[in-house]
Amino acid sequence: MLLLDDFKCHKQPEFVSKLAEYNTVSPLVPPHYTSILEPCDVGINKPLKDRLKKLANDWRAAKYATLYPGEKLPCPGRGEILGWLKQREREDNFIVELGGALLPKFNRG
């Protein structure tokens, strides 16, 4: 799942069809709801993005060290990124739900 704001490009048929190719559900946040959803950005999305950026940079550094002169740095594949999400799950008390969406574990006791 990819939660998107109401920006007009998120509604364009080319964009919507590309998301469908990847089996991605993308509900739109209604206009003027950003302030209501801001706690999710600060408490869940920001730490997740920071961690994924660090893991991506570590991955790039390791790949860079093995490149031959003139060889291009590859992009991480979906498998690597999913591995990073699973690593986040183990390290940061998050669980990976269907479709790769991350939700925090809550203490129910």
pLDDT string in tens for the chain (109-residue length): 777 877 788 888 888 888 888 888 888 888 877 677 777 777 777 777 888 888 899 999 999 999 999 999 988 888 888 888 777 666 655 544 434 454 445 443 3
Phi, psi of 104 (to 5 degrees): -70, 145
pTM comes to 0.52
Phi, psi of 102 (to 5 degrees): -105, 135
